[in-house]
Amino acid sequence: QKEVEQDPGPLSVPEGAIVSLNCTYSNSAFQYFMWYRQYSRKGPELLMYTYSSGNKEDGRFTAQVDKSSKYISLFIRDSQPSDSATYLCAISSGSRLTFGEGTQLTVNP
């Protein structure tokens, strides 16, 4: 069993839709939770970072962490074609990050 599980998709939505991306993890020692966005043939860029259960909002993006269920989510409101990318969850318990497989998202105009 992988330490971090993420549905690889692909996920295709119309412009303006609300997108929900999810990861589950198995190690309760994980403390820090991140979401990265990766455009095709580019390096990942950090989108959101949180370390506590609950919600964290940044513009159209909301990161949600439920430590009791070992479940994290990223919501994208009013999705745009420019949001089309692969989204990677990353979880840390120290100096190392464990990444999910990534979910490929396409937002259609």
Q: Are 23 and 100 in contact (CB under 8 A)?
A: yes
The correct pick among 19, 76, 85, 88 for binding other proteins (CB under 8 A) is 88
Task: Kindly identify the residues of this chain, within the stretch 29-68, that bind other proteins according to CB under 8 A.
Answer: 31-32, 34, 36, 41-46, 49, 51
Nearest to 15 by CA among 62, 83, 61, 102: 83
Closest CB 36 distance from other proteins, rounded Å: 8
Nearest to 35 by CA among 101, 93, 89, 104: 89
Q: How far apart are CA 42 and CA 11, in angstroms?
A: 19
Q: Are 76 and 83 in contact (CB under 8 A)?
A: yes
Two tokens, residue 91: 């979880």
The correct pick among 83, 102, 105, 107 for binding other proteins (CB under 8 A) is 102
- Size of interface with other proteins, in residues (CB under 8 A): 24
Closest CB 16 distance from other proteins, rounded Å: 29
Summarize as ranges the residues that interact with other proteins (CB under 8 A): 6, 8, 31-32, 34, 36, 41-46, 49, 51, 88, 90, 92, 95-97, 99-102
